[in-house]
Amino acid sequence: MAENEKKGPLENITEKLRSLLVTGDPQNNQGALPPKARFSIWYFVITMVFVIYMQQYFFSGKVETIPYSQFKQYVDEGTIDSVIIGPDSIRGTLKGTPVREFTAVRVDDLDLVKALDERNISYSGQYENKFLSGLLSWILPLGIFFLLWRFAMKKMGPGMGVMSFSKSKAKIFAQTDTKVSFDDVAGIDEAKEELQEVVEFLKTPEKFQKLGGRIPKGVLLVGPPGTGKTLLAKAVAGEAQVPFFSISGSEFVEMFVGVGAARVRDLFSQAALQAPCIIFIDELDALGKARGMNVMGGHDEREQTLNQLLVEMDGFETNKGVIIMAATNRPEILDPALLRPGRLDRQVLVDRPDINGREAILKIHSQNVLLGPEVDLRGIAGRTPGFVGADLANIINEAALLAARNNKEMVEVEDFDEAIDRVVAGLQKKNRVMNPKEKEIVAFHESGHAIVAESVEHADPVHKISIIPRGIAALGYTQQQPTEDRYLLTRSELLDRLAVLLGGRVAEEVVFNEISTGAQNDLQRASDIARAMVTEYGMSDAMGLVSYERSRQPMFLAESFSTGKVYSEAKAAQIDDEVARFVHEAHQRVRKILSERRTVLDALAHLLSQQESVQGDELREMLSLATPPLAA
Ligand code: ADP
Ligand code: MG
Ligand code: ZN
């Protein structure tokens, strides 16, 4: 007994731990988590292993763990001196010198006490303080580790930690002259006009302050990538001759906890000193995603930074002459709070340029390029609908490189043709060889598109057909040249587009009685058109003038994220039927067109296989010479 008293709490703990390990009693695990569960899981695991190891190593002493059966055997043999019976374990000493201690996991055994009595073994019960021992055996070591961890983090602090990031490494310096003016930006005249007011304000803030007019605090530039948003922001600074603080939203995302917010604070305090000036946050979407939208648990850091940004925006007096500009190509995912009045309350759309805009952009970028006399920038602009400023700059650059490679004095038409081809469908893959069968299929496929495009009334004329593989996705392509930019499409125009898209697939069908996987993208686009006609444009007689689709872009009303269905299941089935009907009818129509023009189809495919590319004019000539003559 006296001996047992001496053993003290540490042994208790050891034993506790042992029994815990053997039985895996889940109750005893409570309190095992560190108070602040901000560790990485690995830190936690390593700590656990270490703690267990330490317990074993330091506290186990000479105590031997034996199975219960052996314990019973000892009892029977009478080799036991005394035991302490705990709720979960039995501890005891064996007779003889040196004294050997053992411990065993307790099992339900009603005869144990009787057996002990019979052999005159002294025994006593023991109350084990679960809470205290749990606390000591788990929390204490973990607490020590936690403190060590904190200490390590602090040590890192002055050298490479939080404080220094916001001060020194953050390159928040203002560009005092961006060397960009409005003249360098073309094709987005409406956006330019809207920003003119901002320039005026930055130039002469006093004038506006006197009149008390409300100046926009923040301007959000919205538009597809490459349309010149960044360029435009720089141009505003250049025009107004004010410092330009620029920072990209994605820069914040990789930072350590707390740094992003600190940096935002820095940015605004420095800007305040240099007013009038512009703060430009590029790629705002990386930072300004709506809070609470994260499925994988929040990104604390980003949210903190965003919150700080909102706070700073609110704390800013417009009349100090600091204008916040930001750019994004995904306005719909922005946190609505960013767009509230007093923050980025003015949105400026920077859209893809139209044909005049494209021509103007081409002019700007070819200023320092020697163009051949035949080069027609207007024509190039006409062939590149949907291209953005960055694409056009790329074309000029490519063309100039090609000309230089061929040791030409000037950049000529062929260089531009090739440059467009490259930019249109990825770089020409000269080393990729199609097998002859593939090539034949692709030739008929593209011929099908082209002939249908020339045969239906409303399709844009074919500019060029090519079966030179480019990039990964496109095996060939048919390039149509719109005669004008379009903002509205009629029903018959959409039906004709549908037909052109199906042309490739149907040509394969007609010629080979077999179809390939090459039409997948066509079919997808065709289905999209057909579906839009039914659900959005009310062009299906059966479905009537009901729009079954909510507008897909909640543009600046980011609250309405749900694009839930607004119709019944029955309607859904009906819509599917109508879409299928549109596609089916187009299919029949295209079959007829191509069957009637079978000779031209064969001839064109043959020519394509030989030359790999055919101009639209050649095709038109073939069609006009066709025998028997074709009805229009
Ligand atoms: P965004 O920020 O919208 O993605 P950028 O401003 O970065 O696009 O444009 C990239 C480059 O493309 C510009 O540096 C410029 O050379 C060219 N560019 C884009 N849009 C235009 C434009 N409207 N006028 C002239 N150049 C443009
Ligand atoms: Mg940009
Ligand atoms: Zn196709």
Cα 446 to ligand 3 centre (Å): 6
Nearest CA to ligand 1 atom 6: 228
Catalytic-labelled residue, pool 312, 446, 454, 578: 446
| 390 Cα nearest atom in ligand 1 | 12
Beta strands in 41-97 (DSSP E): 64-65, 80-85, 89-94
CB count in 10 Å sphere of residue 145: 19
pLDDT, tens digit, for every residue of 355-380? 788 899 999 999 988 888 888 888 88
Spatial distance between the Cα atoms of 487 and 490, rounded to a whole number of angstroms: 10
**Which residues are within 8 A (CB) of 520 and not within 5 positions of it... i.e. 6 or more apart?**
none
pLDDT, tens digit, for every residue of 445-494? 999 999 999 999 888 889 888 876 554 445 667 777 666 666 677 888 88
Nearest CA to ligand 1 atom 12: 390
Cα 281 to ligand 2 centre (Å): 10
Spatial distance between the Cα atoms of 17 and 308, rounded to a whole number of angstroms: 47
| 185 Cα nearest atom in ligand 1 | 24
What CATH homologous superfamily does 171-349 map to?
Answer: P-loop containing nucleotide triphosphate hydrolases (3.40.50.300)
Cβ burial, residue 535 (10 Å; 0-12/13-18/19+): buried
Burial 236-274 (b: 16+ CB within 10 A, else e): bbbbbebbbbbbbbebbbebeebbbbbbbeebbebbbee
Tokens read off for 255: 């930072």
The pLDDT of residue 444: 94
| 350 Cα nearest atom in ligand 1 | 3
Question: Which listed ligand is nearest to 329 at the C-alpha?
Answer: 1
What number is the average pLDDT over the span 327-349? 84
pLDDT, tens digit, for every residue of 173-229? 667 777 888 999 998 888 898 899 888 888 887 777 777 666 678 899 988 888 899
Q: Please state which CATH number belongs to domain 436-626.
A: 1.20.58.760
Query: According to the 3-state scheme, what is the secondary structure of 424-460?
Result: HHCCECCCCCCCHHHHHHHHHHHHHHHHHHHHCCCCC
The domain spans of the chain are 1-37, 57-128, 171-349, 355-425, 436-626
> In which element (H, E) is residue 606 found?
helix 598-611
Q: Which residues surround ligand 2, an ion (CB under 5 A)?
A: 230
The pLDDT of residue 233: 92
Q: What is the DSSP letter of 223?
A: -
> How high does pLDDT run on average in the chain?
77
Nearest CA to ligand 1 atom 5: 228
Spatial distance between the Cα atoms of 392 and 412, rounded to a whole number of angstroms: 16
Residue 276, preceding peptide bond in cis (omega within 30° of 0): yes
The pLDDT of residue 570: 83
Tokens read off for 382: 């006409």
CATH class given for the domain over 57-128 = alpha beta
For residues 448 and 57, the model is more confident at 448
Cβ burial, residue 452 (10 Å; 0-12/13-18/19+): buried
Judge whether residue 155 has pLDDT over 90: no
Q: How far is CA 103 from CA 5, 12, 56, 118, in A?
A: 16, 11, 14, 21
The pLDDT of residue 130: 64
The pLDDT of residue 58: 61
CA dihedral 445, 446, 451, 454 (to 10 degrees): 150
**Which residues are within 8 A (CB) of 357 and not within 5 positions of it... i.e. 6 or more apart?**
186, 187, 188, 189
Res. 167 pLDDT band, cuts 50 70 90? very low
For residues 64 and 32, the model is more confident at 64
Question: Which listed ligand is nearest to 475 at the C-alpha?
Answer: 3
Cα 361 to ligand 1 centre (Å): 9
Q: Is 446 a catalytic residue?
A: yes
Res. 592 pLDDT band, cuts 50 70 90? very high
Query: Residue 164 half-sphere exposure, CB side, CA atoms within 13 Å?
Result: 9
pLDDT, tens digit, for every residue of 484-521? 666 677 888 889 999 999 999 999 999 998 888 877 78
Nearest CA to ligand 1 atom 17: 390
* Strand bridging mode 80-85 / 122-125: parallel
| 188 Cα nearest atom in ligand 1 | 23
Cα 519 to ligand 3 centre (Å): 5
CA dihedral 436, 440, 446, 451 (to 10 degrees): 150
Pocket test for ligand 1, best of 229, 231, 367 (most atoms within 8 A of CB): 231
Instruction: Render 210-221 in DSSP notation, one character per residue.
Output: HHTPPPPSEEEE
Judge whether residue 418 has pLDDT over 50: yes
Tokens read off for 541: 């007689």
Q: For domain 355-425, which CATH number applies: 1.10.8.60, 3.30.1330.10, 1.10.150.20, 3.30.230.10?
A: 1.10.8.60
Spatial distance between the Cα atoms of 274 and 532, rounded to a whole number of angstroms: 51
Least-confidence region, from 36-50, 317-331, 399-413, 521-535: 36-50
List residues near ligand 1 (CB under 6 A): 185-188, 225-231, 327, 361, 364, 389-390, 393
- 3-class DSSP assignment, residue 336: helix
Tokens read off for 119: 């052999």
Question: Which listed ligand is nearest to 515 at the C-alpha?
Answer: 3
Instruction: Render 264-283 in DSSP notation, one character per residue.
Output: HHHHHHHHHHT-SEEEEEES
| 282 Cα nearest atom in ligand 1 | 2
Question: Which listed ligand is nearest to 521 at the C-alpha?
Answer: 3
